[in-house]
Amino acid sequence: MAGMTNFRVCVLIPAFNEEKNIRRVVMAVREKGYPVIVADDGSRDSTVGEVRGLEGVWLLTADENEGKGAAIRRGVDFFLKKDFDGLILMDGDGQHDPEELRLFVDALSNGTVDVALGNRMNNPVGMPFIRRLTNRFMSGLLSVVAGQKIADSQCGYRAATRRALAEILLKTDRFEIESEMLLEASRRGFKIGSVPIHSVYEGGKSEINPLKDTWRFFKFLCG
């Protein structure tokens, strides 16, 4: 698969109201040879219809919007019932380049890291200033708590081995799951590494609220 013969990977895409982007994102991933899990988070548009029935795609649906964290947890649970060695997470809004999937596969398959985190901060072209500032602050704080260098803690483009995901206990329902995953991996002794990536900012409105989600991050960190 995608140049790797012994390390089997699939891609998890949590999605909420992504009817404009989800099909092209999923098809781009499928063209690279990766099976896809789409975990819909109670979308109120035609997101589900855009991917239903696509070959090589598992569709998980929810009756109501529960949050990105809840969608990821459902996707991870489904992944652990399948026979794959690693899982790559990417967003459904088109801001993650499928051409970079191979970087995550390489990072996991060579055995040097258990979690590979996308890092946009070396060249954050197009990233809104407030997000850049908040991300650097939160990443620095999380690095101290985790005892490992975490360059871009809020990046949704990331990957983990089956072994790591089987041991990590995820509980949160919303965007704080990005931090929870890293912190839990560190607590359990897993090595976190970074993969340099770029993001495609097309002017879409982010679902992340810098104030509200930073507050959730602190509540999680101090909880």
Q: What is the pLDDT of residues 194-221, one digit of tens each?
A: 999 987 765 445 555 555 555 555 565 6
Residue 150 has pLDDT above 70, yes or no: yes
Q: What is the model's pLDDT at position 213?
A: 53
Q: How confident is the model at residue 124 (pLDDT cuts 50, 70, 90)?
A: low
Dist. CA 79–CA 74, nearest whole Å = 9
What are the pLDDT digits (tens) for 57-109? 999 999 999 999 999 999 999 999 999 999 999 999 999 999 999 999 999 99
- Mean pLDDT score of the chain: 89
Pick from 9-23, 28-42, 143-157, 158-172: least confident? 143-157
* For range 172-195, the mean pLDDT: 94
* For range 181-191, the mean pLDDT: 96
Q: What is the model's pLDDT at position 222?
A: 62
Cβ contacts of 29 within 8 Å, gap of 6 or more: 11, 13, 36, 90, 98, 101
Q: What is the model's pLDDT at position 47?
A: 98
What are the pLDDT digits (tens) for 6-64? 899 999 999 999 999 999 999 999 999 999 999 999 999 999 999 999 999 999 999 99
Q: What is the model's pLDDT at position 202?
A: 58
Q: What is the model's pLDDT at position 197?
A: 94
Residue tagged 């967003």 (tokens): 91
Q: How far is CA 37 from CA 4, 7, 74, 100, 119, in A?
A: 19, 18, 10, 18, 23
The two tokens of residue 138 are: 């939160």
Closest CA to 193 of 122, 114, 78: 114
Q: What is the model's pLDDT at position 4?
A: 46
The two tokens of residue 37 are: 């899990």
Q: How far is CA 212 from CA 107, 118, 218, in A?
A: 33, 23, 10
Dist. CA 162–CA 223, nearest whole Å = 27
